[in-house]
Amino acid sequence: MLFSNLYHYLKEEKSFAVTLNCSTDLHEIRDVELLDGTQMSYATDIVYFGYSNALSSDTQPAQCILADDKMALFPYSCTDRATVPAQELFAVFNAAKQYIQHQEHLSLYEELVRRGHLTHSLDEVVNFASIKMGNSLIFCDKKFRILSYSTSIPVIDPWWKENVERGYCTYEFIKTVMSLESIQSAATTIEPIEVSCPESPYRKCSSKVFLNGVQVGFVLMIEGNTSFTSGHLAAMSDISKAISYVIGRYHPELLQYSSADQQLLEALLIGTPAELLSDSISHLHTSDAMYALCIQPESDLKEIELKEQICPAILHIFPEAYMTIHDNAIALLVPDQSSVVYENTQKRMLKTMAELHLDAGISLVFSKMDEFYTAYQQARNVLEWNRRIPDFLKKQIIWDRRYPSEHRTHRYSEIEFYELMDLVPEPDALASFIHPALYRLKEYDQKTGNELFHTLEVYLQSFHNNKETANILCIHRNSLAYRMEKIAEVGKADFNDPNTEFLLRLSYKIIEYLKINNKWHM
């Protein structure tokens, strides 16, 4: 039993006027004891009851329930503490003692189910079980999506820690696990098995989880500071049954079955080779010009909220698209290029993105389904870069003007160069590759207050179109002509030479990258 369990029992079921001061649930409760002023040390698994003046200023209990004396300073070193009116102190003590004695006769399954009834939370049940076992726990569905994991005792195994952070297991990881002899020979029951993996130093045991006679996942315990015993293996069956009960009663949405198309996309998104899915892929409508999209809400939404609130609006824009929820985002396969580049579609998309506070990343065009995984990573990376670029820099960087960044849609072509620069082993050396003409223009602008540096940038991005350049800069074309003459004079470069133009364009992109990484100081 944990301190929060005892508090809720006294507060909710017995209606005592208990006030919770702090609760960490770090320690399992074994017993209760009265403070008599003679204790020199305290056990962490005992809740102490009494008055604060019976406590030593040097040593204080980890768990206590004290009389609410307004004049007393309560010890803040306690990890779990509550207060009660002085007149209720002994009644609360007796109720707590009876409750703990009664709990001693409950099985682990009964304790976990009671925790589930109290909190309606799968995470709470997994955390409670983790503390009881003294080891970390992970619950996955049959597709190896991680639906819950312990935070009170964090996962430290490097392989599973990576999976937890990602929210799912990759195809290669699943393939390795399923090839283990202990997994292949496991019975189709909740009987726990020990799983040994040569790549990890941590022992593990696993138990399948069933709902209505069908396996829906498995629970995994990873050995940490507490060594496995026969009791741990026996307890895994109770944990499995409790998880099944809580999901069936309170969270059936976690196991809602997706369509065949959604399952296909999910398999591709975890890295399953397309050739292994050829039969399923053959039923899709595809073309030689497809896009992958990643759509994310501005604020975190649960998967059920994404499905109910966001997905219908996206399907209205792309009715022919294939869609699934993956890693807290909506993943789309748009099978026809025209539906993304079509002007009316763009208008509907931009309007929906703004209204629902969504951001969309769009991949490069691709033609084969074995490219979908890479294309989706491109779409997701666009959004990662969008968050990485400070807002004030977004206004300075000249994006593709057909798809302005403030409209909340972003294309991989906008940031592909940045990803390339991220591979440079010595990014500080990039500044030496900036064309010297740009340094001269920047220095001239700083001395005179002119904008030759920015003017040349817009001119190059506008493909030497004087009218468009003047409109963007909001200046007269005669003023632009004067600026271009000055740029040639100050820059001392042949701006009509194709190689020079390429190097100038490259230099502006390097400067953008250095700005993003706070390494451009001119």
Distance between CA 182 and CA 165 in Å, rounded? 26
Read off the pLDDT of each residue in 40-59 and give the average, rounded to a whole number: 87
3-state secondary structure at position 21: strand
Which tokens belong to 197? 């993996």
Q: Residues 251, 125: contact at Cβ < 8 Å? A: no
Distance, first Cα to last Cα, the chain: 62
SS (H, E, C) 302-333: CHHHHHHHHHHHHHHHCCCCEEEEECCEEEEE
pTM score, two decimals?
A: 0.70
The CA distances from residue 2 to 6, 9, 128, 194, 240, in Å, are 7, 11, 8, 28, 20
Q: What is the DSSP string of 407-445?
A: GSEEEHHHHHHHHHHTT-S-GGGGGGGS-HHHHHHHHHH
Q: What is the pLDDT of residue 59?
A: 81
Which tokens belong to 252? 């059936």
> What does the pLDDT look like over 459-502, one tens digit per residue?
998 989 999 999 999 999 999 999 999 999 999 988 889 999 99
Compute the mean pLDDT over every residue in the chain, rounded to the nearest whole number: 89
Q: Which of 108-112, 264-268, 394-398, 401-405 has the lowest mean pLDDT?
A: 401-405
| Helices and strands (H and E) in the chain: how many | 22, 15
3-state secondary structure at position 168: strand
Query: ∠ CA(131), CA(137), CA(143), 5° rounding?
Result: 155
Chain center to CA of 89: 44
> What are the residue ranges spanned by the domains of the chain?
3-103, 108-255, 260-387, 427-516
Distance between CA 155 and CA 164 in Å, rounded? 8
8-state DSSP, 331: E
Q: Which of 2-11, 89-98, 216-225, 250-259 has the lowest mean pLDDT?
A: 250-259
Is the CATH number 3.40.630 carried by domain 260-387? Answer: no
Q: Which of 315, 324, 268 is nearest to 294 (CA)?
A: 324
Structural class in CATH, domain 108-255: alpha beta
3-state secondary structure at position 511: helix
Distance between CA 41 and CA 428 in Å, rounded? 58
The arrangement of secondary structure in 427-516, i.e. its CATH architecture, is Orthogonal Bundle (1.10)
> What does the pLDDT look like over 499-512, one tens digit per residue?
999 999 999 999 99
Q: What are phi and psi of 505, to 5 degrees?
A: -60, -45
Q: Which of 392, 431, 442, 393 is nearest to 415 (CA)?
A: 393
Partnered with residue 47 across adjacent β-strands are 32
Which tokens belong to 192? 């726990």
> What does the pLDDT look like over 333-352, one tens digit per residue?
999 877 777 778 888 888 88
Q: Residues 163, 174: contact at Cβ < 8 Å? A: no
377: burial class by Cβ within 10 Å (0-12, 13-18, 19+)?
A: middle
Q: What is the pLDDT of residue 308?
A: 86
Q: Which of 34-38, 162-166, 278-282 has the lowest mean pLDDT?
A: 34-38
